[in-house]
Chains A and B, each alone.
Chain A
Amino acid sequence: MGKIEILDFKKNNLRKINSSLQNINHKNNKRDFVIKNPAGEHAICAGLKEEMAVTIKGHVGYYCGGMNQKANICIEGNAGTGLGENMMSGTIHVKGNTSQSAGATAHGGNIIIDGDASSRCGISMKGVDIIVKGSVGHMSAFMAQAGTLMICGDAGEALGDSIYETVIYLAGKPKSLGVDCIEKKVTKNDLKKIENLIKIGNIKKLKPHDFKKFGSARKLYNFNIDNVSEY
């Protein structure tokens, strides 16, 4: 393993830093990076395509780790809107809180949020596994299509509104459930999945049995005149 390379926003601009991460030098093959002084910049670590470990020392702005593939990104601070948007694989770990739309439309990989996530967490998610150790805001998992959203705290209003096949595991209480989102029975298979997520998220205080399961009632899939008031 090579030495850790330091990328400092006080010395380089966003384009240079992102471009050096997007085009790794395969000759020296350095894959460990520390980003200093992010100062809330947007789109840090967007579009990474290769296996690497990036630690960001501070708070980041919008779309951090967007479109990520394979990279392992750790944010030692808070993240702005659209963390890991459309991520395909890899891991993003946020040690603080995240703003709205964390993991929006993400297809794969893991997003771990140590603090709270605000509104619309996992909106339209397409296969990512999101673990929130705190609570989530309103309209989380809105129109979520696939993947898992695990919430150790509570959920805001209209959890899982118009949800498709994403599964929600919630330890706390939802303020309200969205249209077509219902509580479901936790199966043995679910418990296995939860146990695995607990391991990935390094969650200490909760056991698989502490979680309730929520998902789609599948009543909005096709137009049904009886549901017209729900549209």
Chain B
Amino acid sequence: MCGIVGLYFKKKKLHNQLGRYLSGMLDNMSSRGPDSAGFAIYNNDSKKIFKYSLCIDDKLIAKNFEIDVKKKFKDVNIKNLSDHYILQTSSPPRTIIPFIKQFYESILIVGYGKSIEIFKQVGNPKEIVKKFNLQSFSGSHGIGHTRMATESAITIDGSHPYSTGEDECLVHNGSLSNHNNLRRELIKKGKTFDSFNDTEVAAGYISNNLSKNKSLDKTLKNCLTNLDGFYTFIAGTNKGFAVLRDEIACKPAVIAENNDYVAVASEFQAMAHLPNVNNAKIYEPEPGVIYTWGK
């Protein structure tokens, strides 16, 4: 099953409402995915500072890491929410990521970029939303997922959103059948994976395409030929997000759009609390058609 949600604001004055509305959307989708949940928030705060979303489940390791990272890197700032730590620094991924991978193997790098912050956890989405205090977040757009696990374990690294590139993320409702083959191909090309999950492979596939300077639109078109299985995707970048359903389209999606926002969700229920939604243009994305919104 799984529930996916996305919210993009067309007006800046609404940015401080993102967390509030997105948490309502995730709450309402907990019926579709009670095993784990996660969300990605895009907030274009800075042009120079990178944000690294890290999951550290051991407080002692987190403490040591904080001391260590502040010693080695300049202007480091760490924000802690539950077991997630947002490391902010001007140091680029090519220095930070090898450092974490070499000295702190147990730390999961959930995502990184100049805009994105990602949080995910195992458990009931309603609780998770509270733990991370999603209500208080602001941003230009956000993507969320509630998971009913089918093909890989209920763990944090089996939870969505998946981020496999700078400021990129993917949530997925469905299942892929050729992910093992595709994973092997991508590993040969130098991609690394943290889990056995199918969606991580799709995210890796999208990142691999984007890194070759292909547009998001072109990349998603390639998904239609190279990904086998069922899916409704919401793929996020720092500019906005895109929606794609496979051509059989048995995984649901509904879009509500007005002058203020674009909301995407697995079910209308998830967006029933949004302001003036009953007067918004409400439609289902057509199978195999790419829909994008962004700056």
Q: How far is the CB of A85 from chain B (nearest CB, A)?
A: 15
A59 touches B278 (CB 8 A): yes
Q: A61 touching B267 by the CB < 8 A rule?
A: yes
Which residues on the A side are within 8 Å of B250 (C-beta)?
Answer: 100
Partner of B278, one of A62, A77, A97, A138: A77
CA distance A62 to B266 in the complex (A): 11
For the complex formed, measure the closest distance between the CB of A187 and the CB atoms of chain B, giving whole angstroms: 35
Contact B287–A40 (Cβ < 8 Å): no
Q: Does B282 touch A at the CB level, under 8 Å?
A: yes
B282 and A99 contacting across the interface, CB-CB below 8 Å: no
> Taking the nearest CB of chain A, how far is it from the CB of B209, in angstroms?
27
Determine whether B254 belongs to the interface, using a CB cutoff of 8 Å to chain A. Answer: yes
Query: Quick check: is A118 within 8 A (CB to CB) of the other chain?
Result: yes
Residues of B near A119 (CB, < 8 A) are 249, 287
Q: A99-B252, A99-B254 are in contact. Are A61 and B269 (CB under 8 A)?
A: yes
Closest residue of chain B to A61, judged by CB? Answer: B269
Decide: B287 and A80 in contact? CB cutoff 8 A.
Answer: no
> A50-94: which residues lie under 8 A (CB-CB) from chain B?
58-59, 61-62, 77-78, 80-81
When the two chains form the complex, which single residue of A80, A118, A137, A138 contacts B268, counting CB atoms closer than 8 Å?
A80
Does residue B193 face the partner (Cβ distance < 8 Å to A)? no
Does B278 contact A100, Cβ atoms closer than 8 Å? Answer: no
- Chain B 134-167, CB within 8 Å of chain A: the 1/0 string? 0000000000000000000000000000000000
Q: A99 near B284 (CB under 8 angstroms)?
A: yes
B283 at the interface (CB under 8 A from A): yes
A61 touching B268 in the complex, CB below 8 Å, given contacts A78-B282, A118-B284, A119-B287:
yes
Q: Cβ of B14 < 8 Å from any Cβ of A? A: no
A78: chain B residues at CB < 8 Å are 268, 282
B272 at the interface (CB under 8 A from A): yes
Can you name the residue of chain A whose Cβ is closest to the Cβ of B31?
A42
**A97 — nearest CB in chain B belongs to which residue?**
B283
A-facing mask of B260-291, CB < 8 A → 1, else 0?
A: 00000001111111000010001110110000
Cβ 8 A contact of A39, one of B272, B282, B287 = B272
Provide 5 A-B residue pairs closer than 8 Å at the C-beta atoms, listed in order of the A residue.
Answer: A40-B271, A40-B272, A80-B252, A137-B249, A138-B287
Chain B residues within CB distance 8 Å of chain A: 249-250, 252, 254, 267-273, 278, 282-284, 286-287
- 15 more CB-based (< 8 A) A-B contacts, given A59-B282, A118-B284: A39-B269, A40-B267, A40-B268, A40-B269, A40-B271, A40-B272, A80-B252, A80-B254, A99-B252, A99-B284, A100-B249, A100-B250, A119-B287, A137-B286, A137-B287
